[in-house]
């Protein structure tokens, strides 16, 4: 654990390679790509249907499914918000670092912190993707049950997709973002009295 307490932002920066940044970016974009891959055909299919004169109501099943999606989304967003508070506590970080076996070399210790950050970002974006895909299934269910273009309240199910997009691109893994997160969420907790 002592090797981690002696790490500085500079040590992590020296160990953070462009390939590590690219790997994280590709993984997160692939997770987001799954959402886009399912949404685009739905939009295309919807555009080929006749436009309704009067906005049709949503079927009871899809209405119930919408409520389920919003409850699931609320639980998922709560998890994402509380995730750092639960899993990036000092005891949790200490336990992970002690179990890492990266306690002899500063470079290996820094790489372990970089990998921890990547794991947390992947988990966060996987949860966001899950919510987005549940929402897309709701849109698809309504699309397959309607002979007209879907409109109205069903498009509320695009809100989780918009939230996923916003969180991904506002937190996109650049070198500076990764270093700031590691510095704020890990280094400051394991050694709060050090200046980085």
Write out pLDDT tens, residues 47-63: 888 877 676 677 888 88
Residue 112: is it exposed, middle or buried by C-beta count within 10 angstroms (0-12/13-18/19+)?
buried
What kind and span of H or E run contains 159? helix 159-170
Burial state string for 181-193 with b = 16 or more CB within 10 A and e = fewer than 16: bbbebbbeebeee
- pLDDT confidence of residue 74: 95
Res. 73 pLDDT band, cuts 50 70 90: very high
Q: Position of tokens 């002696």?
A: 6
DSSP state letters, 44-84: HHHHHSBPPSS-PPPPHHHHHHHHHHHHHHHHHHHHHHHHH
Structure tokens that stand for 183 in this block: 């510095």
Q: What is the DSSP letter of 172?
A: -
- pLDDT confidence of residue 61: 87
In the predicted model, what is the mean pLDDT of residues 28-45? 92
Among 144, 84, 150, which Cα is nearest to 119's?
A: 84
- pLDDT confidence of residue 130: 94
The pLDDT mean for the chain works out to 86
Cβ–Cβ under 8 Å, residues 49 and 147: yes
Choice among 54-58, 68-72, 115-119, 133-137 with the minimum mean pLDDT? 54-58
CA angle 167, 168, 172 (to 5 degrees): 120
pTM: 0.83
Outline where DSSP puts E strands in the chain.
none
Write out pLDDT tens, residues 74-117: 999 999 888 887 887 878 777 877 777 656 788 888 888 898 88
Write out pLDDT tens, residues 105-130: 888 888 888 988 899 899 999 999 99
- pLDDT confidence of residue 66: 92
């Amino acid at each position: 654990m002592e090797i981690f307490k002696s790490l500085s932002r500079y040590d992590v920066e020296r160990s953070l390679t462009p390939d590590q940044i690219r790997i994280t970016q590709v993984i997160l974009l692939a997770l987001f790509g799954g959402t886009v891959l399912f949404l685009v055909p739905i939009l295309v299919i919807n555009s080929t249907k006749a436009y309704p004169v009067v906005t049709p109501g949503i079927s009871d099943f899809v209405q119930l499914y919408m409520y389920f999606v919003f409850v699931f989304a609320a639980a998922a967003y709560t998890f994402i918000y509380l995730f750092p508070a639960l899993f990036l506590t000092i005891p949790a970080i200490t336990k992970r670092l002690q179990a890492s076996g990266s306690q002899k070399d500063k470079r290996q210790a820094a790489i372990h912190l970089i990998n921890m950050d990547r794991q947390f970002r992947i988990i966060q974006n996987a949860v966001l993707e899950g919510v987005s895909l549940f929402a897309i299934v709701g849109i698809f269910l309504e699309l397959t049950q309607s002979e007209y273009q879907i409109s109205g309240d069903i498009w509320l199910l695009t809100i989780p997709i918009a939230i996923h997009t916003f969180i991904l691109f506002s937190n996109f893994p650049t070198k500076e973002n990764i270093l700031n997160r590691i510095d704020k969420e890990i280094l400051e907790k394991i050694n709060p009295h050090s200046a980085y």
